[in-house]
């Protein structure tokens, strides 16, 4: 890709504006301002015209620069200052703006203060986040496909606008009792595109909207000499109203139904099938036996409430000793009561005609943190510094899933295959009537040995927590006015525990399908119940279906690890540093450290011996995991965040769970045949923040305090641990069973900073 840009500023001007005729003389160096009543006033405006000439990929330019042509306000400032600090409503006013007229970043700042009475500050920011960067010219579709459909646009794109507002008011700022009030609002919204793996990969239209409202109140006590004690209360409300739908149907079936065969065309590998086009009509007539979608939608409305209390102090009361510290507590509650995913599709590998996923979810985050720092000045050149921090948090959550899988009936008319097959209308209450034994009626669902459960009810639970204590002790000495030296010691004690479990409260497999016989219970014996009744707690029902678990008899999911993992890490580090200031604006620092991580005891695992419908140890709410083109892997979930709204996330797979990971590898065989090239309608262009008419979608945020990036990996209960840097989702450990050996290193870190 070749991208050239030329940005020209035309007609730029700087004006000094006067509200009234000047009463003060103006010098060449700086305007003296204008006297208006009891105020001295300064104003300046800088505006102009930007001419942008772009030659290359416009989407890439907008992703990284996004500076268009047009008239722009580059800067505007207004300053008003009272002559004698006795203004009627205010003593000082400052107002500034830049970026208006079309730039992707706009900012407005306002500050108004009245001596001894109040201090008000407000900021408004607007940021455009356009992302449509084509990483490769044709990352998915080979030229050998028939038809050959190159991908010329990125299948994942965003065009979001984020509006941020912050307002803070301080009352009686100079008194011994000071009050603080604040409000912040953050709205991030706009359209986007993403993909979903379901046998093929359709392009889905997304409408994002994340809203966070935060209310702040605080008070400062300054009754003791050189000491300030503060209390703050923060109430944060988060909501998400987003939606995902399939709006791209460039094909039709033989009966005229619009169809989406996805963007991946690799007919040699049978994606979406070996011969996707039956007739080169307008629009092209699709092969109903191909993997494809007739409808898709995902809705949900996450809501969160995050109260936080904090007490802090800062003091120089004792001679030669400066101290500061704080104590904070936060409890976050979040729920998604209305999550629902619906798809009408055909997946050839499982014989599925789509399905639904839903169920309420709830997650919490409990956090407590304490910190203290002290600096004792023994002499003018010698300091003793100590810092302590305790941070303890936990993220429990649970998701009550309700999932159904659609399966087709036998053909009711000639030519009905794949996407043209009717969906079987069965449920536990009507199955015996609609599809009686021997389960060969036309209305019976047609399963395959690889088909999943018809109905899945599960309780998904997960927990992640950390208890961190760390202390840093340092001795600092000023050798000369330009040379400082320090030595110290760092100790960290970190305990991490995690838990995940999935419990079946009703996983039902209906019989029916080609190849069904008494030996395989007419294909009801599949999935977790492939061994038939009596295996994995599976029970044969009177209508011929097989069920695993129930509300009265919940059973752990097959292959589920319900043990609690525990990790304990000690870290010791010896610190040393030297700071040189050869000149006033140059500082050179060198800080060698030696770190020792001693051997740790094996993980302590506590098996869960009995499971109940509501688990005592819960885990985060399901998030929408990412998907890939060749291997569809459902990622482990994230949990609720107590801070900012998230950026764009990826959509969930049809078979998403809230704990662990599910891998579904798709393999395809090649079958060469003559080529044909048909005009395939392109993906629609990204709308520029079109109004959302799509129901909201489930998304859940990540925790504000990330788990450690380096921890100990569990092997099995009672086994030793192995050392490995690991991401926050804590995947399965390696097979190594060695003690965490001592590690010593002495890197010499050098930094040069220009002051």
Poorest-confidence range of 89-103, 299-313, 585-599?
Answer: 585-599
CA angle, corner 108, sides to 105 and 113, nearest 5?
155
Backbone angles phi, psi at 165, to 5 degrees: -130, 135
Burial 508-525 (b: 16+ CB within 10 A, else e): bbbbbbeebeeebbbbbb
| Distance (Å, whole) CA 321 – CA 131 | 51
**Residue 490: count of CB within 10 angstroms of its CB:** 17
pLDDT tens-digit series, residues 341-356: 999 999 988 899 999 9
At 307 the pLDDT is 96
Mark residue 633 as left, alpha or beta (left: phi above 0; alpha: psi -120 to 50; beta: remaining). beta
8 Å CB contact between 87 and 113: no
Going by pLDDT thresholds of 50, 70 and 90, the confidence category of residue 335 is: very high
Q: In Å, how far from its chain's centre is CA 498? A: 20
Residues contacting 60, CB < 8 A, separation 6+: 1, 3, 132, 133, 134
- The answer, yes or no, to whether residue 286 has pLDDT greater than 70, is yes
Task: Tell me the C-alpha to C-alpha distance, in Å, between residue 718 and each of 411, 463, 564, 605, 736.
Answer: 56, 20, 12, 7, 14
**Residue 707: count of CB within 10 angstroms of its CB:** 18
| Distance (Å, whole) CA 211 – CA 484 | 48
At 135 the pLDDT is 62
Task: Tell me the C-alpha to C-alpha distance, in Å, between residue 445 and each of 342, 527, 646, 655.
Answer: 19, 16, 41, 19
As given in the structure block, the two tokens for residue 317 are: 């009361």
- The answer, yes or no, to whether residue 603 has pLDDT greater than 90, is no
At 151 the pLDDT is 80
As a whole number, mean pLDDT of residues 107-128 equals: 95
pLDDT tens-digit series, residues 41-93: 999 999 999 888 888 878 888 888 888 889 999 999 999 999 887 778 899 99
Task: Tell me the C-alpha to C-alpha distance, in Å, between residue 315 and each of 203, 309, 310, 371, 636.
Answer: 59, 21, 17, 14, 45
Mark residue 85 as left, alpha or beta (left: phi above 0; alpha: psi -120 to 50; beta: remaining). left
At 751 the pLDDT is 28
- The answer, yes or no, to whether residue 170 has pLDDT greater than 50, is yes
> Among 270, 280, 258, which Cα is nearest to 349's?
270
Residues contacting 273, CB < 8 A, separation 6+: 267, 287, 289, 290, 291, 348
Going by pLDDT thresholds of 50, 70 and 90, the confidence category of residue 510 is: very high
Whole-number percent of the chain with pLDDT over 90:
55
| Residues facing 399 on adjacent strands | 361, 460
**Residue 575: count of CB within 10 angstroms of its CB:** 18
pLDDT tens-digit series, residues 370-389: 999 999 999 999 999 999 99
More confident residue, 20 or 327: 327
More confident residue, 673 or 128: 128
At 711 the pLDDT is 31
Domains of the chain by residue range: 116-280+289-564+605-708
| Distance (Å, whole) CA 164 – CA 172 | 27
At 202 the pLDDT is 93
3-state SS class at 3: coil
Q: What pairing do the DSSP bridges indicate for beta strands 455-480 and 361-377? A: unpaired
Poorest-confidence range of 283-297, 561-575, 596-610, 644-658?
Answer: 644-658
Roughly how many angstroms between the first and final C-alpha of the chain, as a whole number? 39
| Distance (Å, whole) CA 250 – CA 282 | 9
As a whole number, mean pLDDT of residues 638-643 equals: 32
| Distance (Å, whole) CA 725 – CA 720 | 16
| Distance (Å, whole) CA 79 – CA 380 | 41
As a whole number, mean pLDDT of residues 126-131 equals: 93
| Distance (Å, whole) CA 584 – CA 588 | 11
8 Å CB contact between 362 and 370: no
At 155 the pLDDT is 84
CA angle, corner 194, sides to 246 and 239, nearest 5?
90
One-character DSSP codes across 216-257: EEEEEE--STTEEEEEEEEEEEEEE--EEE-----EE-TTS-
Element (H, E) at 433: helix 431-434
| Residue whose token pair is 């097989």 | 546
At 152 the pLDDT is 75
As given in the structure block, the two tokens for residue 392 are: 């303890």
Residues contacting 422, CB < 8 A, separation 6+: 408, 409, 412, 416
Among 34-38, 39-43, 123-127, the range with the most confident prediction by mean pLDDT is 123-127
- The answer, yes or no, to whether residue 628 has pLDDT greater than 50, is no
> Among 212, 284, 157, 179, which Cα is nearest to 680's?
284
At 206 the pLDDT is 93
> Among 617, 606, 602, 579, which Cα is nearest to 749's?
579
8 Å CB contact between 251 and 285: yes
At 55 the pLDDT is 84
**Chain mean pLDDT for the chain:** 77
| Distance (Å, whole) CA 261 – CA 97 | 49
- The answer, yes or no, to whether residue 235 has pLDDT greater than 90, is yes
More confident residue, 45 or 198: 45
Going by pLDDT thresholds of 50, 70 and 90, the confidence category of residue 132 is: confident
| Residues facing 357 on adjacent strands | 341, 403
Residues contacting 440, CB < 8 A, separation 6+: 512
As given in the structure block, the two tokens for residue 549 are: 């678990």
At 84 the pLDDT is 82
> Among 607, 639, 608, which Cα is nearest to 622's?
639
| Distance (Å, whole) CA 678 – CA 578 | 70
Going by pLDDT thresholds of 50, 70 and 90, the confidence category of residue 139 is: low
At 392 the pLDDT is 96
As a whole number, mean pLDDT of residues 414-429 equals: 93
- The answer, yes or no, to whether residue 472 has pLDDT greater than 60, is yes
3-state SS class at 557: coil
- The answer, yes or no, to whether residue 528 has pLDDT greater than 60, is yes
3-state SS class at 62: helix
As given in the structure block, the two tokens for residue 286 are: 């699709």
Going by pLDDT thresholds of 50, 70 and 90, the confidence category of residue 712 is: very low
Going by pLDDT thresholds of 50, 70 and 90, the confidence category of residue 137 is: low
**Residue 60: count of CB within 10 angstroms of its CB:** 16
As a whole number, mean pLDDT of residues 479-489 equals: 93
- The answer, yes or no, to whether residue 689 has pLDDT greater than 50, is no
| Distance (Å, whole) CA 691 – CA 312 | 45
Residues contacting 673, CB < 8 A, separation 6+: 146, 267, 274, 275
More confident residue, 116 or 712: 116
Burial 90-105 (b: 16+ CB within 10 A, else e): bbbbbbebbbbebbbe
At 418 the pLDDT is 94
Q: What dihedral do alpha carbons 690, 692, 696, 700 form, nearest 10°?
A: 30
- The answer, yes or no, to whether residue 545 has pLDDT greater than 70, is yes
Among 143-157, 259-273, 463-477, 661-675, the range with the most confident prediction by mean pLDDT is 463-477
Poorest-confidence range of 147-156, 186-195, 500-509, 726-735?
Answer: 726-735
At 80 the pLDDT is 92
For 740, what's the count of Cα atoms within 13 Å in the CB-facing half-sphere?
23
Among 127-141, 536-550, 650-664, the range with the most confident prediction by mean pLDDT is 536-550
Whether this model's pTM surpasses 0.85:
no
At 593 the pLDDT is 56
| Residue whose token pair is 């909201």 | 696
Residues contacting 625, CB < 8 A, separation 6+: 633, 634, 635, 636, 637, 650, 652, 653, 656
As a whole number, mean pLDDT of residues 12-41 equals: 57
At 7 the pLDDT is 45
More confident residue, 153 or 458: 458
Q: Tally the residues of the chain.
A: 755
At 313 the pLDDT is 95
At 732 the pLDDT is 31
């Amino acid at each position: 890709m070749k991208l050239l840009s030329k940005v020209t500023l035309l007609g730029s001007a700087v004006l000094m504006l006067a509200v009234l005729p000047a009463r003060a003389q103006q010098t060449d160096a700086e305007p003296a301002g204008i006297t208006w009543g009891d105020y001295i006033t300064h104003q300046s405006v800088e505006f102009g015209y930007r001419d942008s000439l772009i030659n290359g990929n416009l989407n890439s330019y907008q992703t990284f620069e996004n500076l268009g042509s047009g008239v722009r306000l580059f800067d505007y400032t207004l300053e008003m200052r009272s002559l004698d600090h006795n203004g009627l409503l205010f003593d000082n006013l400052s107002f500034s703006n830049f970026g208006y007229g079309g730039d992707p970043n706009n900012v407005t700042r306002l500050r108004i203060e009245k001596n001894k009475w109040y201090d008000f500050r407000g900021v408004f920011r607007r940021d455009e986040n356009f992302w449509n960067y084509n990483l490769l010219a044709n990352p998915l579709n080979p030229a050998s496909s028939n038809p050959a459909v190159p991908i010329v646009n990125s299948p994942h794109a965003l065009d979001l606008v984020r509006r941020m507002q912050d307002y803070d008011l301080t009352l009686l700022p100079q008194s011994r009792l000071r009050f603080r009030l604040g409000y912040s609002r953050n709205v991030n919204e706009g359209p986007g595109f993403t993909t979903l793996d379901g046998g093929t990969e359709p392009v889905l239209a997304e409408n994002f909207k994340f809203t966070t409202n935060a209310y702040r109140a605080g008070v400062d006590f300054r009754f003791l000499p050189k000491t300030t004690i503060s209390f703050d209360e923060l109430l944060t409300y988060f909501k998400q109203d987003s939606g995902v739908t399939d709006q791209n149907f460039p094909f039709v079936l033989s009966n005229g139904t619009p169809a989406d065969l996805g963007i991946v065309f690799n007919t040699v590998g049978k994606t979406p099938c070996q011969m996707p086009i039956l007739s080169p009509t307008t629009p092209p007539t699709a092969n109903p036996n191909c993997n494809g979608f007739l409808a898709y939608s995902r809705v949900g409305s996450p809501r969160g409430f995050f109260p936080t209390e904090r007490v802090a102090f800062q003091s120089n009361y004792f001679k030669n000793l400066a101290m500061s510290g704080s104590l904070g507590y936060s409890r976050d509650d979040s729920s998604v009561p209305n999550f629902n995913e619906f798809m009408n599709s055909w997946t050839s590998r499982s014989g599925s005609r789509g399905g639904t996923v839903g169920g309420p979810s709830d997650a919490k985050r409990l956090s407590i943190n304490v910190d203290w720092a002290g600096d004792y000045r023994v002499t003018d050149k010698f300091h003793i510094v100590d810092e302590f921090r305790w941070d303890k948090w936990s993220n429990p959550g649970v998701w009550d899933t309700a999932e159904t899988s659609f399966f087709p009936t036998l053909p009711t008319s000639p030519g009905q295959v794949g996407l043209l097959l009717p969906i079987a209308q069965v449920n536990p209450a009507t199955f015996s009537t609609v599809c009686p034994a021997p389960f060969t009626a036309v209305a019976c669902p047609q399963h395959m040995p690889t088909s999943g459960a018809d109905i899945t009810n599960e309780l998904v639970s997960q927990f992640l927590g950390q208890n961190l204590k760390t202390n840093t002790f340092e001795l600092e000495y000023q050798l000369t006015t330009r040379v400082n030296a320090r030595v110290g010691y760092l100790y960290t004690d970190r305990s991490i525990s995690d838990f995940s479990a999935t419990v079946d409260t009703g996983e039902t497999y209906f019989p029916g399908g080609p190849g069904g016989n008494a030996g395989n219970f007419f294909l009801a014996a599949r999935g977790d119940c492939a061994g038939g009744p009596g295996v994995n707690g599976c029970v044969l029902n009177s209508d011929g279906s097989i069920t695993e678990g129930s509300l009265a008899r919940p059973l752990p999911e097959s292959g589920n690890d319900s043990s609690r993992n525990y990790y304990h890490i000690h870290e010791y580090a010896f610190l040393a540093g030297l700071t040189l200031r050869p000149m006033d604006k140059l500082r050179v620092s060198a800080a060698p450290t030696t770190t020792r991580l001693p051997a740790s005891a094996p993980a302590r695992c506590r098996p869960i011996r009995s499971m109940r419908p509501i688990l005592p140890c819960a885990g985060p709410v399901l998030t929408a995991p990412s998907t890939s083109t060749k291997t569809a892997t459902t990622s482990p979930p994230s949990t609720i965040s107590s801070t900012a709204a998230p950026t764009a996330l990826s959509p969930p797979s049809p078979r998403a769970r809230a704990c662990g990971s599910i891998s579904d590898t798709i393999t395809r065989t090649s079958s060469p045949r003559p080529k044909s090239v048909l005009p395939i309608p392109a993906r629609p262009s990204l709308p520029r923040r079109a109004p959302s008419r799509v129901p909201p979608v489930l998304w859940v945020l990540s925790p504000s305090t990330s788990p450690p990036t380096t921890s100990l990996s569990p092997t099995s209960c009672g086994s030793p641990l192995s050392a490995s840097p690991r991401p926050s989702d804590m995947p399965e450990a390696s097979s190594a069973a060695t003690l965490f050996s001592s590690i010593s290193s002495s890197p010499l870190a050098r930094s040069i900073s220009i002051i």
